[in-house]
Amino acid sequence: MTEYPDLRERVLEANLALVRAGLVVLTFGNASAVDRAAGVFGIKPSGIPYDRLTPADIAVVELATGAVVGTGTRPSSDTPTHLALYRAWRGVGGIAHTHSAFATSWAQARREIPCFGTTHADHFDGAVPVTRALTPAEIAGEYEHETGEVIIETFAALEREPLDMPAVLVASHGPFTWGASADEAVENAVALEAVAASAYRSLALAGELGPIPAELLRKHFSRKHGTAAYYGQPS
C-alpha cells in the first residue's frame, strides 16, 4: 500500500489545478503540500508530464532531512526551495511554483508588481515583491536552496508575514505562491497571474502610473481579509 495516500492525492490535485488554470506548460512548475504532523511534504516528481501523473508518482520528502521517503520518484528540482520555505514558515501548508507568462515577465524584468487597482487590492496587500538577484556563488552552490533563502531574506527585509503576502517573484526566474493549504497556494498563483497581466496592460495603456491610493487599497483588502472582512457568506 502506498504511504501517505491523502497527501499524495492533495498534491496531485494541486498540480493538475495549475494545468487547468493555464499556468504551466510542458513539465514546468510544481505544487507541494506539507503534513507537519507526519514531518513530510509531497511534491510533483521531476520531469513527468502532468497528464501521466498518478498519486503514486508524487514524491514524499522528509522535512527534517530532505530525504525522499521510500524508493519512489525523484522529486522536483525545486524541492530544496520548497523545503527551505516550509522549514522557515510554519504557517505555510502548500506552495506553488509556475512559469506563468505575465508573472514571469515581471520576474524577468526584476520588477515588483505595483498595486494599480482594486482587483489587485482584493487579493494582495500592496505590491507583490521581487527578490534580489542571486550572486554567482549562490548560483554555483546549492542553487535551489539559495532560491528559498533569498525569498525568506526578502520577506525578512520587508518585515512581511508570508500569509499576509502569499506571493513573490524570484528575480530572473518566476513566481512562487503559498497558502495555508495547497489549494490556497494554487488560488494565489491564479490571482497573481491575473494581477500581473492587468498591471502589464495598465502600463501599456497609461505609461507612467502610480499605485492605488492607500485608503482604497486598505478598503478592498480588508473587505476580504482579516477580522473586519465582510465579503462572501458567513461560515
Q: Which residues are catalytic?
A: 122, 231
- Which helix (H) or strand (E) is 31 found in, with range? strand 30-35
Residue 5 is placed in which grid cell?
Answer: 495516500
Residue 159 to residue 6: CA distance in whole angstroms: 34
Q: What is the dihedral angle through the alpha carbons of 50, 56, 59, 65, rounded to the nearest 10 degrees?
A: 170
Q: Could you tell me if 141 and 74 are in contact, meaning their C-beta atoms sit under 8 angstroms apart?
A: no
Nearest to 202 by CA among 125, 81, 117: 117
Q: What is the dihedral angle through the alpha carbons of 39, 176, 143, 79, rounded to the nearest 10 degrees?
A: 30
